Structure 1
Amino acid sequence: MHHVDWDLQVDFMQKKITGSGVYHIRHQQAPEVIFDVHHLKITGVWLEDEPQAVDFSFTQEKPFLGQGLKIPLKPGTQKIRIAFETTAEAAALQWLEPEQTTGKKEPFLFTQSQAILARTWLPCQDSPSVRFTYTARVQVPPHLLPLMSADNPQEKNEDGVYFFRMDQPIPSYLLSLAVGDLAFAPLGERCGVYAEPGSLKAAAYEFAETEQMLLAAENLYGPYRWGRYDLLVLPPSFPFGGMENPKLTFATPTIIAGDRSLTSLVAHELAHSWSGNLVTNATWNDFWLNEGFTVYFERRIMEALYGPEYAQMLHTLGYQDLQHTLEELSQKPQDTCLKLNLENRDPDEGLTEIAYEKGNLFLCRLEALVGRARFDAFVNKYFGTFQFTSMDTDRFEQFLEKELLNGDDAVKQQLNAEAWIHSPGIPEGIVPLQARLFEKVAAELQRWETGTPANQLATENWSTHEWLYFLSNLPKTLAHAKMRELDNAFGFTASGNAEIQAEWLRHSIKHGYKEAYPALEAFLVRVGRRKFLMPLYKALLETESGTDLAREIYRKARPNYHSVSTSSLDALIQATP
């Protein structure tokens, strides 16, 4: 398929999307076409504009993949209409009751299509290697506003019918739809933010520098190819920090800290407009091509705006996360290669820090060996050459050899791309970057460990990143009195910064600091971001008394979580004796 025209009706009473799509296809006398579907009801199929429906069939259902919808073709068929309805098992969709939103008055719907969940809410060829343009007519209740990964309206209309258009070809995992009581605020000529009215002002303040990020990105790696770049702040149940849906990044409210300290996530999703959306991993085995480049690019954007020391902090914290992931995957060493083998596995198993942080570390190593000017020229040519196409690891290696390493045996030997891409772990001899600002944090931590009261530490004007470094490097064992001392001095349990609070709650579980447990339960019930949920539930399950508490909290919290989170947590909690 290369273009689709959808007509969708969003029914909050029955919690389903009903619709049809006209699929424009190209083929060379193929006898049939196959679309991916999973827990999706197909109500009819027509070829071209013929009034008579045609028979269709399904392949055998497979776990997490669903089924193939097989449609016979006639010679010359170029257009197929498929009518469908979503079901209660549509894993991409989360239908929220009014009380689960900020405003508490209106329901909310959002989709999460990555990695292979688009097939649960509309028929598609659900591979990142298949790109298509689309239009959509979407009907919603008149008091709500729909948004898509397309050109979007900025205010509600009276009849609840909206038209969307995406003229740049995208893969199915970047299809998105959100419907809610939403308002819009501009952030510049090309940027803006959507949020529920009660949180719009805070969101607009938090993301005020988005236009500057966009300009910094263009200065690095060429023009932005998508027209507008807007953000949508979703309810707390959104399972990720952000999702790079073209033209409209979906963002978690947990990055709204009041001080713009967590906006590197915006830089990350913006960077995906080049690495991922413009040049896309051809398969989920090549996921590092999306995320490794995006982490590197994100930190270059933050460096351009806030200086090298700021970017150094992000690199150091990322390296810490990578070390934790390598430890967790020590029994699955092949999953620590950049090029993965996900055959007969759910692609979500490849969404680890390996793709993000090992990928970034590889690119940093490459930059260090050839120099920033040569590396930037290479990346610019990479994006320009392969824009709006898909890229696999083998072709990337060939491009790297031809455009950057060709004839330079010394650099090739020092880089050892084979070890980075196809071997487990991190190649020997790689010395991680240590942020200079963290040396001061480490010194203050040392002072506290040797007797200086917490309230006398020099922590004035510390950024979120400095606090995270402080917390992540606390001693492995801490007495209850020392935990209370830190909490009294710095208010970690009641922190309004989700990153800081989550890291503190993890320590509270580990050290049995039960004063924080009411805040822990409130956090886990309110927040659905998988990055926070997995470490906190794992920490509970690792303690003697925590398993029962984890299960008790999960029973309350599970209805607030998206299926992306519950699929991981169900397995984790059920596997615990």
Structure 2
Amino acid sequence: MTIKKLMAGLLTLIVISGCNESSTKTTELIVVADKESKQLEAQVAHHNAQDYHSFSNPDAVKVTHLNLDLSVDFTQQTLSGHVSLDFQRMTPDADTLILDTRDLVISKVVADGNDLAFNLANADNFFGAALSIKLPSHSSQVTVYYNTSPKASGVQWLTPAQTAGKKYPFLFTQAQAIHARSFIPLQDSPQVRVTYEATIRTPKALLAVMSAANDPDTPRDGVYEFSMPQAIPSYLIALAVGDLHFKAMGERTGVYSEIGILDAAAAEFEDTESMLIATEKNFGAYSWDRYDLLILPPSFPFGGMENPRLSFITPTVIAGDKSLVSLIAHELAHSWSGNTVTNATWRDLWLNEGFTTYLTYRIMEMVYGEERFDMEAVLGRQDLQADLDTLKPNDQILAINLKGRDPDEVFSNIPYEKGALFLRELEHKVGRANFDQFLLEYFKAFAFQSITTDDFISYLEQTLLQDYSDKLSKQRIEEWIFEPGLPKGAPVPKSDAFTSVDKARNDWLSGTIAASNIDSDNWVVHQWLYFLNNLPAELSSAQLTELDKAFGLTNSTNNEIAHSWLLICVNNWYQPAFPRLNEYLVSIGRNKLVKPLYKALSATPEGKVMAQKAFAKAKDGYHPLTVKVNEKFVK
């Protein structure tokens, strides 16, 4: 690198370091034309935007490493012990460390063998409470002794009856978005990345696993030690404890679960190693050593959680035919987009989920072919449109304003599918090979960093916008990111596999053919979902009876098909499906599947009574997030 290039990069660093890091305004980058300097600029130019969802003060004192020592008490439903936090003073005179907590009992704080003064503020209704610690002048580590509450929002405790094996209890955590603070006092902001070590003490019959280096052959002795050498944001710290067993699926991949579903899970997800190899080929080496899956009980509130090295997965995607494994591709893709390059605040979630959804489609195409890619892209576009039809304009924006809002309350397809569609347009305009090269360089430039939307736009200005100025415009990019809805001319995915489905549906609706004469023998799950999701909103009882008799939809064992069918049945009050509906609601805690059903039921007085009965029966087995999201419908 020439002196001119180096000085240009250093000048950029000086400009950035001279700004107020807590400011929400971005500092304009000095654009260096030479391509060799782009990576240097990417590394030094991004800044920390203000995180409205954290009380912490990383601009003054930043935590860099955690060392956890926790005991698991299933009787009291608490984690207790201590965490040592290594920190760096970002300003020389900083004398207070501020951490995020929620419903934690703090017994003492220690540094260099001495008790420290601390203050636990009054709790906010969803942000928790700030823990302020007065720091000794020469200390670089504090240790907080604490225990969690049985109602910790990021921890679910399951009784033996709520597990598959029915013999042992189960514990798992879910930290995203701001729930790590409910089981660890820390700086709970995605812009703060930490390495960590942990010692977890459990009943000897049980196995503990974490989002860290796990040893499948570790003895069950009740004391488990973990290390995460790569710096990760707090929301990716995860723990599970249960009667878990392991089965390898490939050289770097395997699955943990209760023994009863272990073989089925390993068979369903056996292509995980192929997905990993295909992704590496296009987007760079996998940075996390192993990639294993943990199959959780049905109460897990999400499809999956991309905890590094060990994705947490719902059992609802074990369909027996690999039809729902795009979820595995999605969580794997997060190893590049989300875990390695992370959103700096929850306003920037689309940088995680939009990129990851785009990569998901690409992985599915590489492993399963173009037809599968096309079908899943069309279904994703329809899911996006369903949200665009119901969300307020401000909630249709990629860089969404979340100030004063609970990030759990604004979950939608916007950051996922709109973000992916935006990237698909960039791909179409510059060409796939060129866009793949851009992604490869992007993941390298920001590896193990947390960035903002503004950082991304600045990087685009130095790369694609500069290299393809005849094909791309900043105005169009800003329209995608900062405006509601979709820009005119946005890509429209299409699938030839759905042409015959459209004809069959239209012929049946017009009375040309009976349902029993629809030639569906070779339809895959995606075609069934397309058939069901595009039926008219209003159907007669006779029509629903005919479909159910012909295809046994009420008894479908595919959870996605069952969800689509049951939603149609609620909206058209098809009572023969209601026993199955009740069973579905009380046996599954995945919000994507149960929330639309509770919402639809609660639209009528009769339906709300059904929803209340199902919710009352299921509530104790639901995760706290599922309870929070759905209880508003049944009140």
Counterparts in 2 of 1:561-572, with a 5 A limit?
Answer: 561-572=622-633
- What is the one-letter code of the residue matched to 1:449? L
Q: 1:135 aligns with which of 193, 197, 206?
A: 197
Of 282-291 and 564-573, more deviation after overlay is shown by 564-573
Instruction: Give the CA deviation at 1:377.
Output: 0.8
The answer to whether 1:532 aligns with 2:596 is no
What is aligned with 1:391?
Answer: 451
Residue 149 (structure 2) aligns with: 87
In the alignment, the residues of structure 1 paired with residue 550 and residue 255 of structure 2 have an alpha-carbon distance, to the nearest angstrom, of 35
1:404 corresponds in structure 2 to 464
Q: Which of 430, 434, 438 is the aligned partner of 2:490?
A: 430
The equivalent position to 1:184 in structure 2, one of 246, 251, 270, is 246
How far is 1:408 from its partner?
A: 4.0
Measured after TM superposition, the shift of residue 461 of structure 1 is 2.4
What is the CA–CA distance in structure 1 between the aligned matches of 2:444 and 2:575, rounded to whole Å?
A: 54
Cα deviation code 1:19-63 (max 9, x no counterpart)? 111111111341110110010111110013x1x312210233222
Which of 572, 597, 617 is matched with 1:511 structurally? 572
Cross-structure match for 2:229: 167
Aligned to 2:288: 226
Aligned with 1:481 (options 514, 527, 542): 542
User: Cα offset for 1:544?
Assistant: 4.5
1:459 to 497, 511, 520: 520
In 1: Cα distance, 2:614 partner to 2:98 partner: 42
Identify which of 565, 583, 593 aligns with 1:522: 583
> Deviation digits for residues 255-303 of structure 1, max 9, x if unmatched?
0001111000000000000000000000000000000000000110000
Give the Cα separation in 2 of the matches to 1:37 and 1:308.
Answer: 47
Q: CA deviation at 1:407?
A: 6.0
Who is 1:295 aligned against? Answer: 357
SS, match of residue 196 in structure 2? strand
Alignment of 1:348-359 (within 5 A): 348-359=408-419
In structure 1, how many angstroms separate the alpha carbons of the residues matched to 2:387 and 2:98? 37
What is the alpha-carbon distance in structure 2 between the residues aligned to residue 545 and residue 422 of structure 1? 41
- Decide which moves more: 189-198 or 449-458: 449-458
Query: Any conservation in 2 of the 1:292–1:358 contact (CA below 8 Å)?
Result: yes
Equivalent residue number for residue 381 of structure 1: 441
Query: Does structure 2 conserve the Cα–Cα contact (< 8 Å) formed by 1:369 and 1:415?
Result: no
Contact (CA 8 Å) 1:365, 1:415: kept in 2 or not? no
SS at match of 1:276: coil
Give the distance between the partners of 1:228 and 1:187, measured in 2 at CA.
11
Q: Residue 366 of structure 1 contacts residue 415 of structure 1 at CA under 8 Å; is this kept in 2? A: no
Secondary structure in structure 1 of the residue aligned to 2:156: strand
1:33 aligns with 2:97: yes
TM-score (norm: length of structure 1): 0.97
Q: CA deviation at 1:571?
A: 2.4
Aligned to 1:551: 612
Cα distance in 2, alignment partners of residues 414 and 11 from structure 1: 54
1:57 to 119, 126, 136: 119
Offset of residue 529 of structure 1: 0.2
Q: Report deviation, 1:153.
A: 2.7
CA distance 1:144–1:517, change in 2 (3 Å): same
Select the residue among 405, 408, 419 that pairs with 1:345.
405
Extract unaligned runs of 5+ from structure 2: 1-62
CA distance in 2, matches of 1:461, 1:269: 29
1:537 counterpart letter in structure 2? Y
1:308 Cα offset (Å) = 1.3
- Tell me if the contact between 1:287 and 1:350 (Cα under 8 Å) persists in the aligned partners: no
CA deviations on 1:98-132 (whole Å, 9 max, x unpaired) are 11111111110000000000000111100000001
Counterpart Cα distance in 2 of 1:275 and 1:572? 34
CA distance in 1, matches of 2:468, 2:592: 41
* Whole-angstrom distance in 2 between the partners of 1:326 and 1:95: 36
**Aligned mates of 1:550, 1:110 — CA distance in 2:** 26
Partner residue in 1 for 2:345 = 283
Q: CA deviation at 1:76?
A: 1.8
* Conserved 8 A contact 2:351-2:453: yes
Distance 1:281 1:350 in 2: 16
TM-score computed with the length of structure 2 as normaliser: 0.88
- Measure, in 2, the Cα distance between the counterparts of 1:572 and 1:46: 45
Instruction: Report the CA distance between 1:158 and its aligned residue.
Output: 4.3
RMSD (Å), alpha carbons: 1.2
Contact 2:465 2:473 (C-alpha < 8 Å) held by counterparts = no
- Return the letter of the residue paired with 1:393: T
* Contact residue 33 and residue 70 of structure 1 kept, 8 A: yes
2:481 is aligned to 421
Cα distance in 2 for partners of 1:36, 1:182 equals: 31
The reply to whether residue 199 of structure 1 matches residue 257 of structure 2 is no
Superposed displacement of residue 463, structure 1 = 1.4
* 2:68–2:82 CA contact under 8 A, matched in 1: yes
Percent identical pairs in the alignment equals 48
- C-alpha separation in 2, matches of 1:485 and 1:361: 37
SS in 1 for 2:335: coil
TM-superposed CA distance for 1:370, in Å, is 0.7
SS, match of residue 433 in structure 1: coil
Q: CA deviation at 1:350?
A: 3.7
Any conservation in 2 of the 1:510–1:543 contact (CA below 8 Å)? no
Q: 1:242 aligns with which of 304, 308, 313?
A: 304
Give, in whole Å, the separation in 1 of the partners of 2:451 and 2:64.
18
| Counterpart residue identity of residue 252, structure 1 | T
- Does structure 1 conserve the Cα–Cα contact (< 8 Å) formed by 2:204 and 2:222? yes
SS in 2 for 1:564: helix
| C-alpha contact (below 8 Å) 2:256/2:294 kept by paired residues | yes
CA distance in 2, matches of 1:32, 1:444: 67
Cα deviation, residue 431, structure 1 = 4.5
- Aligned pair count? 570
1:238-277 superposed matches below 5 A: 238-277=300-339
The question of 1:2 aligning with 2:64 is answered yes
> 2:194, 2:231 within 8 Å by CA — same for their partners in 1?
yes
- Cα distance between partner residues in 1 of 2:275 and 2:585: 32
Match of 2:395 among 329, 335, 343: 335
Quick one: distance in 2 between partners of 1:557 and 1:59? 34
- 4+ residue runs over 3 A deviation: 407-410
Measure the CA separation in 2 of the matches of 1:570 and 1:307.
41
Report the CA distance between 1:558 and its aligned residue: 1.1
Equivalent position of 1:468 in the other structure: 529
Contact 1:340–1:350 (CA under 8 A) maintained in structure 2: no
Question: SS of the counterpart of 2:389?
Answer: helix
Displacement of 1:162 after TM fit? 0.7
1:119 aligned residue:
181
Residue equivalent to 2:621: 560
Aligned-partner SS, 2:337: coil
| CA distance in structure 1 between the aligned counterparts of 2:491 and 2:281, rounded to whole angstroms | 29
Following the alignment from structure 1 to structure 2, what is the Cα–Cα distance between the partners of residues 212 and 491?
34
Question: Equivalents in 2 of 1:224, 1:409: separation in Å?
Answer: 32
Look up the match of 2:109: 45
Please give the alpha-carbon distance, in whole angstroms, between the structure 2 residues aligned to 1:339 and 1:44: 40
- Three-state SS of the structure 2 residue aligned to 1:275 is coil
Q: Which of 189, 195, 208 is equivalent to 2:270?
A: 208
**Alpha-carbon distance, 1:155 to partner:** 4.3
